[in-house]
Amino acid sequence: MNADPLRRGCRFASNAGLVGTILALMLLTGCGGDEQEQVVLYSSLNEPTARPVIDRFEEKTGIRVIFQGDTERDKTVGLVQSLLEERHRPRADVFWNSETANTVRLQREGVLARLDPPPDSAALIPDAYVDPEGYWFGFAARARVLIVNTDLVEEAEMPNSMWDLTDEKWRGKAALVRPVTGTTLTHMTALYEIIGEEETNRFIQGVIDNECHLPPGNGRLAQLVGQGQIHFGFTDTSDFRLVKNEGYPVIAIYPDQDSIGTMLIPNTVSKIRGGPNPENARKLINFLLSEEAEEILAHHPRGHIPLKPDIDRPEEVLVPGDFEVMEVDFQRVGEQITTRLDQFDRRFR
């Protein structure tokens, strides 16, 4: 009966806190349950880019897509970490990755499920962009191009090869994103497969010796080139197009057309093993791999490159055939990525 008044006070405060928290939760969550069919999509693509495709899927199927994305600043780390930590009790159905490396790594960690039989819409995707075992499928790619500021670089001097980054005449004027994440990491890792250990190391040492700038992301690199702080650098076609659309004096050069070709990195989609909505996951994957989704992404201001033939697209969106494409084994690249990541982290200090 005679409980300590302070304890009573504490209990009162705790109860008030509990009631307050419940009220806040009710306010924050809104009222009532949600009976609508749904599918949970984790995507490393930023939401504004993915949204038109998602909206179309929702419109066609009536299935609500719960979108969990990432930011440029966090560079997919949070998203991949969530998928790994949730693997014993998965909360996602589909993983839409803007590149391939993390997809392959998640496959190796047992996070992904095999799609057997493959989705109908995957039929026309070139073999190079599909996992032979059916764990992931590529679509809507980006090319790794050299973005060049046309106010700073004369037409006669235009760079046209990755080796221009190591050319003495561009000392301190070129840029490459520090290759510890995203498409730059995939690109640099792929070089080991394409031109071999020795040549890739020579290229990387050349980039370091030539005092290339190392911006935090491809979007930032493209902005810096557009603003004239850097003459040129490697970026993705999607980031180039954003800067071009802003009216900056830039052009994109598809490098190494006479030798190894230009790297093309597809978006990848895969099903999460044990996800809560397997049927809807299949429907969403089927839609993402459809001609319609590739067409929407091609017409997006970021201009993704369709991998399927005969997709309607703006004429400035070039497709394989308009330029030589580097032949990459994405599975092998994904398998090597952790080792290379550590090497790059040490060399680009």
Partner 1 sequence: MLIVVVVLLGLVPVGMAMADLFRRPAEAWSALVDPVLWPRIGTSLLIALLTLAFMLPLGLMMAWLLVRTNLPARRLGMMLIPFPLFLPPLVHVLSWFGVIPLSGIPAIVLVYVIAFTPFVVLLSARSLEQISRAHAETVQLMGGKRAVLLDDLRHALPAATIGGVLALVFMLGDFAVADFLTSVGPKVTVYADTIYVHHLAQRSGAAAATAVPGILLCLVPLIWALRRRRQLGATVDPRFERAEPLTLGGTRWGLLLLIVIYLLIGTALPLISLAWQAGSWTTILEQARGASDRIMFTVLLGAAAATGMVLLALPLMLFAQRLRRAWWLDVLIFLPLAVPPLILGVGLIRVWNRPLLDAIYLGPGVLLIALIGRYLAFAALPIGGSIERLDRSMLDAARLAGAGRFVRTVRITLPLIASTVIAAWCISFCFTLRELDTLIMLRAGQRTLPFHLYSNVVFARQEDVAALALILAGVTIMPLLLYLAIARRAIRFL
Q: How far apart are CA 262 and CA 235, in angstroms?
A: 12
Among 77, 209, 309, 312, the residue binding partner 1 under the rule CB under 8 A is 77
Which bin fits 75, alpha (ψ -120 to 50), beta or left (φ > 0)?
A: left
Among 216, 228, 309, 314, the residue binding partner 1 under the rule CB under 8 A is 216
The distance of Cα 139 from the centroid of its chain, to the nearest Å, equals 12
> What letter represents residue 159's amino acid?
P
Among 104, 146, 242, 264, the residue binding partner 1 under the rule CB under 8 A is 242
At closest approach, how far in Å is the CB of 224 from partner 1? 6
Residue with smaller CB distance to partner 1, 302 or 308: 302
At closest approach, how far in Å is the CB of 341 from partner 1? 6
At closest approach, how far in Å is the CB of 320 from partner 1? 25
Question: Does position 91 bind partner 1 by CB under 8 A?
Answer: yes
Question: Does position 163 bind partner 1 by CB under 8 A?
Answer: no
Q: Which residue has the tokens 């924050």?
A: 28
Contact indicator for 204, 347 with CB cutoff of 8 Å: yes
Residue with smaller CB distance to partner 1, 144 or 300: 300
Question: Does position 9 bind partner 1 by CB under 8 A?
Answer: yes
At closest approach, how far in Å is the CB of 107 from partner 1? 13
Residue with smaller CB distance to partner 1, 51 or 114: 51
At closest approach, how far in Å is the CB of 261 from partner 1? 27
Q: How far apart are CA 325 and CA 34, in angstroms?
A: 46
Q: How far apart are CA 142 and CA 129, in angstroms?
A: 12
Among 107, 181, 235, 290, the residue binding partner 1 under the rule CB under 8 A is 181
Among 38, 56, 64, 84, the residue binding partner 1 under the rule CB under 8 A is 84
Q: How far apart are CA 53 and CA 57, in angstroms?
A: 6
Question: Does position 338 bind partner 1 by CB under 8 A?
Answer: yes
CB-neighbour burial class of residue 334 (10 A; exposed 0-12, middle 13-18, buried 19+): buried
Q: How far apart are CA 103 and CA 94, in angstroms?
A: 11
User: Which residues fall within 8 angstroms of residue 240, CB to CB, at 6 or more apart?
Assistant: 145, 147, 222, 250, 252
Query: Which DSSP symbol is given to 151?
Result: T
Structure tokens at 116: 């057997």
Pairing of strands 137-149, 250-253: antiparallel
At closest approach, how far in Å is the CB of 203 from partner 1? 18
Interactions with partner 1, residue window 293-312 (CB under 8 A): 302
Residue with smaller CB distance to partner 1, 44 or 200: 44
At closest approach, how far in Å is the CB of 268 from partner 1? 17
Q: Give the angle subtended at the CA of 105 by the CAs of 201 and 132, to the nearest 5°.
A: 100
Among 67, 167, 206, 299, the residue binding partner 1 under the rule CB under 8 A is 67
Binding string, residues 115-154; x marks residues near partner 1 by CB under 8 A: ----------------------------------------
Q: Nearest Cα to 95, choosing from 347, 234, 81, 171?
A: 81
Residue with smaller CB distance to partner 1, 62 or 89: 89
Q: How far apart are CA 12 and CA 235, in angstroms?
A: 58
Question: Does position 161 bind partner 1 by CB under 8 A?
Answer: no
Binding string, residues 21-50; x marks residues near partner 1 by CB under 8 A: x--xx-xxx----------------xxxx-
Q: How far apart are CA 101 and CA 189, in angstroms?
A: 10
Q: How far apart are CA 128 and CA 133, in angstroms?
A: 12
Among 148, 162, 214, 325, the residue binding partner 1 under the rule CB under 8 A is 214
Question: Does position 61 bind partner 1 by CB under 8 A?
Answer: no
At closest approach, how far in Å is the CB of 206 from partner 1? 16
